[in-house]
Structure 1
Amino acid sequence: MSDEAKAAELKALQAALAAEHAAVYGYGVVGGRISQARRVAARSAYDGHRAQRDALTREVRDLGGTPVAASAGYALPFPVQDAAAAVRLAAELENRVAGVYSDLVRAAMGARRVAAAASLRQAAVLAARWSGESVAFPGLAERTGEAAGATGATGTAPASGTAPASPSATPTA
């Protein structure tokens, strides 16, 4: 693997790790507002994102990188005041995670690419379950008109007017 390909793969892994940090945070919010009937699904997704976060941390280290740290907090794309908003947030989290895994599929090779494709599929399935809708090609930029996983592709702008540090949510200080 060339140094350029390794750098691209590491950058995509870091973006996926940042998205997983944000998803873990977001599911903490979801869990506080979700209905009892969907609490098991929310907990399962939360646990899955924690496991993915931990695996990506190891992979970044394996490539010689320093894993991106989680932010202390993240700005949510909309207020989450009830169970319906919690369900919308869960779907949004999964759609955003799918976007960065789509980028990782493009950047990775071999087993890492296979794992990224499986993670993309899982995020797309969860997004469809939460929203009741699906898209033909989850995670692709064409559906939003933006580069999926690119800095600033969150659909929300941070209060400072700078690009967000995470592709899944805007960190707050």
Structure 2
Amino acid sequence: MSPEPTPASRSLEAAQSALAAEHAAAYGYGVIGARATAARQGEAREAYGEHLARRDALARTVREMGGSPRPAEAAYTLPFPLRAPGDAERLAAEIEDRVAGAYSDLVRAAEGPLRREAADALSAAAVRAARWRGVGVAFPGLTEKR
């Protein structure tokens, strides 16, 4: 029987998961930027920068919590092939859904300022997903938890 996780360990694990989601998002937006239409490339660059900033902030947070930030993978498997500009938009929406899911977990696990930062990141990911998709979802971050 393993010991019950502490609130601090749950919060650290959720922060590590959000960090992993940000690593994957940064990778994904590199692909999206190369495949998006000219009209959407600026939006892809902006999202890429936002994910890099959140990634760096989460790495600092993990260190402040006493953890060692998980490094990015060398590459990530995309959920589907990108053959048309619409596929890049679909990938961006899916990435944002996954990021929102990771931050949803962090909101549940964290307290204080970290919880607020996670809620802000969840909201930002939901807005970006809605922009890419053209429509929002009722409960962002919970889509994949069915």
Q: Distance in 1 between matches of 2:57 and 2:100?
A: 16
In 1, are the aligned partners of 2:21 and 2:102 still within 8 Å (CA)?
Answer: yes
Pick from 77, 88, 91: which aligns with 2:90?
Answer: 88
Q: Distance in 2 between matches of 1:5 and 1:145?
A: 21
Pick from 1, 15, 21: which aligns with 1:13?
Answer: 15
Q: Give the alignment's Cα RMSD to 1 decimal.
A: 1.0
Q: Distance in 1 between matches of 2:30 and 2:145?
A: 29
Q: Structure 2 regions of 5+ residues with no counterpart?
A: none
In 1, are the aligned partners of 2:101 and 2:144 still within 8 Å (CA)?
Answer: no
1:104 matched residue in structure 2:
106
Q: Distance in 2 between matches of 1:99 and 1:17?
A: 12
1:139 matched residue in structure 2:
141
**Secondary structure, aligned partner of 2:48:** helix
1:54 matched residue in structure 2:
56
Give the alignment's TM-score, normalised by structure 1.
0.80
Amino acid at match of 2:119: A
- Displacement of 1:109 in angstroms is 0.3
Amino acid at match of 1:77: P
2:70 matched residue in structure 1:
68
Q: Distance in 2 between matches of 1:17 and 1:64?
A: 15
Pick from 39, 63, 73: which aligns with 1:37?
Answer: 39
**Secondary structure, aligned partner of 1:73:** coil
| Structure 1 ranges of 4+ moved more than 2 A | 143-146
Q: Distance in 2 between matches of 1:71 and 1:9?
A: 22
- Displacement of 1:145 in angstroms is 4.8
- Displacement of 1:94 in angstroms is 0.3
Amino acid at match of 1:59: T
User: Greater helix share, 1 or 2?
Assistant: 2
Q: Structure 1 regions of 5+ residues with no counterpart?
A: 147-173
Give the alignment's TM-score, normalised by structure 2.
0.94
